[in-house]
Amino acid sequence: MKLKEEKELQAITAEYEKALQLFHKKSYHKAEAAFKQIIETYKDSEFYSVLEIQTRVKVHYAIAQSQLRPATVTLETMQDYIWEGVYQLNSGNTDKALELFNHAEKENQKDAYLYFLMAAAYVKNEDTANSLRYVEKCLKKDAAYKVIVYNEPDFEPLLQNQDFLNLVE
């Protein structure tokens, strides 16, 4: 490695580490500014190793921006509510997911898939009674879900529950 490249690589690495520290402390305003400065300073570098780090900086810069200015989702159709509910469920926000699913159910979106999702959310909230209630609703709408529910890892906590087994076997 040439001396000039080595010096530039050391400089960008040090700046990147400082910016990452700010990022990990959730000081997103400061981190965003630090990442932007690095991007501007090294945008014309002739060295691949420096540009590789700059690419990582750009990723963190975008994440910092998204933390400062989160996207807003407009829920217009019942399908929007369901997809947002799936997103919330997968993010671990089961209460928010259930709120969205309940809204869809109240608006006559009463299909097997929605009931399957609601049952999964209740399992994650350790609410066995409601989970079983929605598994039953799901299977009444579409008996083909028996195989899906039985094999879904989210329902593993219910595999020792006789009421659950009676529904899916």
Per-residue pLDDT of 1-48, as tens digits, reads: 688 889 999 999 999 999 999 999 989 999 999 999 999 999 998 988
CB atoms closer than 10 angstroms to residue 145: 20
How far apart are the C-alpha atoms of 157 and 42, rounded to whole Å? 52
Q: What is the DSSP string of 25-65?
A: TT-HHHHHHHHHHHHHHTTT---HHHHHHHHHHHHHHHHHH
CA distance 48 to 122: 50
Question: How do the pLDDT tens digits run along the chain, 169 residues long?
Answer: 688 889 999 999 999 999 999 999 989 999 999 999 999 999 998 988 988 999 999 999 999 998 888 778 789 999 999 999 999 999 889 999 999 999 999 987 789 999 999 999 999 999 999 999 999 999 999 999 999 999 999 999 999 999 999 999 8
Q: What is the pLDDT of residue 1?
A: 62
Report the interhelical angle of 28-41 vs 48-68 (nearest 10°). Answer: 150
Query: Is 73 a domain residue?
Result: no
Do 92 and 147 have their domain in common?
yes
Structural domains counted in the chain = 2
Query: Which pLDDT belongs to residue 3?
Result: 87
Amino acid at site 19: A
- 60 within domain boundaries: yes
Domain limit, last residue, from 44, 68, 92 = 68
Residues 29, 83, single domain; the answer is no
State the Cα–Cα distance between residues 56 and 165, nearest whole angstrom.
Answer: 49
